Structure 1
């Protein structure tokens, strides 16, 4: 039996998915969450096989929640369930550890197929995603480490918190910050934070 948790801030959508999955003998919904913090707590208590999560949720978004869950429970499979069809959104969820990405207008058949495939260790990325060209901000060439740090800055982390999260020194984080500022041609800490936050949802 594939144990599923659904995370979505619109309860009606959760109810619709749950109702549809009731007829699948190999899938059972063991929990639901309306925000990212609730999702993380549910996972810690129930350890599902598969999570279906929206990207934008209160308190802790789907990207942040995915990263946290995958760090603690690497065997839990996560499928993004989103209205965003841009490559930036897909790449951020992949980077966070998601095994799948499907659109909210997908058929029930596609949702069920995605659950079964990722539960077996596969990946499922909706072929209806347009894969639009990356925006000009994305054209800035950043290293993988710089992208990680920029993402964490966008989540409101301090240099020390970023250092602790990535197991590197605070001085190293500060050096990366300076390099990012130089590459994106902005001025100072405040502008960097603003850029990081805007870039986080540049696909909205």
Structure 2
């Protein structure tokens, strides 16, 4: 066997090993994510919808939030991202009302992260209207205006929708991320937040490729 042929076979073997390694690290259905019954999405043409279901009182959601923020920035051009507050009981419904009131008043940038921080870093349970209104006032928001939004028909309808969406996605805990209305990702499956966002990257890319292929 010539030296040139030996080198060529070595390169082929190395390439095969690298390909196998990449394939082994590829997210696997049933391990890193699961396929769910399709739920209608709200993404614009050419974009992939990603939904995070969360609860303000969940410490894992609080710790996941910085990862979500960075991930959203990386995918600003190709992803439509939405938060949906999961609702499993009355306290979760109350916190969903806080979220949708902030959204209705265009105050999510002002209140979303600080509300997380108040609960988990400051130990404030935020389980009643009085404590929430005290909090928003401390953030420079008119509490009377915020209360009016919280009890509005618009926010009440949004909370009902969140209850329905929690059922439709069939999640068992939070945080839970749904990509393209079809794929569910959670830290309990992925094992870490870092792996979780990697799986999200993979599913977004795959959904985008499928959309492109369907148009050809």
Query: Do the two structures share a fold, i.e. TM-score over 0.5?
Result: no
> Whose radius of gyration is greater, 1 or 2?
2
Higher helix share: 2
Q: TM-score, normalised by structure 1?
A: 0.28
Structure scoring higher RCO (CA < 8 A, sep ≥ 6) equals: 2
